[in-house]
Amino acid sequence: MKLNNTTPVPNTFFDTHISSLSGSAVRVYLKIVRNILGWRDEQGRVKERDWISHSQFEKTGLSNRSVTNGIQELLEQKLIIVTDYLNNDLTDPYKRKKAKRVYYALQLKNSEKTTFYSEKTKEIPTQNFRPTKEISLPKYNANERIPDHIRLEQIRQEQQRKQMQRDSWL
């Protein structure tokens, strides 16, 4: 059975960890789960890891400090893995702050991996997913005139984004 517009969350998170985590750690974890397990390619495979900026975490209603504390708490509980582009360990907050891009992955047990990853091979396939980093368009005031070529480009990009979103629901 396939459920559209849903994101699977590992049961061990609810059964074992949620009661011992702070509210900010729960929000950060769910954002990571959404960005990794909530996106599938044409073959139904999920991402291994994703680049998530601090501003994306802040959209969960957390302050910058709460996001950092939540990430550190999840690292201490060994629920997530934090690396840079070259898979260098970024468990130290100072290293994360200096890194250009921080990638997050879920620390799943082997039994959990088989649920979300390839059922046939029981291993994580290599993937080339596009990042879920949100791209913001320049904002214009209501009274400000937008040049036609910029507005047409905005409409085209919005249509492409919506089509990609619809394609990922299949």
- In contact, 134 and 56? CB cutoff 8 Å: yes
Q: Residue 151 falls within a domain, yes or no?
A: yes
Taking the CA atoms of the chain, what radius of gyration do you get in angstroms?
A: 18
Q: Residue 2 falls within a domain, yes or no?
A: no
Number of structural domains (the chain) is 2
Task: Determine how many CB atoms are found less than 10 A away from the CB of residue 164.
Answer: 10
In this structure, are 33 and 61 located in the same domain? yes
Task: Note the pLDDT of residue 104.
Answer: 92
The CA-atom distances, in angstroms, between 151 and each of 72, 137, 147, 156, 164 are: 42, 10, 6, 9, 20
Q: What angle do CA 72, 135, 160 make, to 5 degrees?
A: 130
In this structure, are 95 and 154 located in the same domain? no
* Cα atoms found within 13 Å of the Cα of residue 86, Cβ hemisphere only: 3
Boundaries of domain holding 112: 11-133
In this structure, are 123 and 139 located in the same domain? no
Q: Residue 86 falls within a domain, yes or no?
A: yes
In this structure, are 86 and 45 located in the same domain? yes
How many angstroms separate the CA atoms of 48 and 81, rounded? 11
Task: Name which of 31, 137, 29, 145 is nearest 77 in CA terms.
Answer: 29
Does this model's pTM top 0.75? My answer is no
Strand 80-83 with 50-51, pairing: unpaired
Task: Note the pLDDT of residue 122.
Answer: 47
In this structure, are 90 and 108 located in the same domain? yes
- In contact, 28 and 67? CB cutoff 8 Å: yes
Q: Residue 5 falls within a domain, yes or no?
A: no
**Which residue stretches of the chain have pLDDT < 70?**
1-3, 110-143, 169-170
Long-range contacts of 109-114 (CB under 8 A, 24+ apart): 109/12, 112/10, 112/11, 112/12
In this structure, are 107 and 164 located in the same domain? no
Task: Note the pLDDT of residue 116.
Answer: 60
Q: Residue 6 falls within a domain, yes or no?
A: no
Task: Note the pLDDT of residue 41.
Answer: 74
Task: Name which of 11, 140, 13 is nearest 79 in CA terms.
Answer: 13
In this structure, are 168 and 122 located in the same domain? no
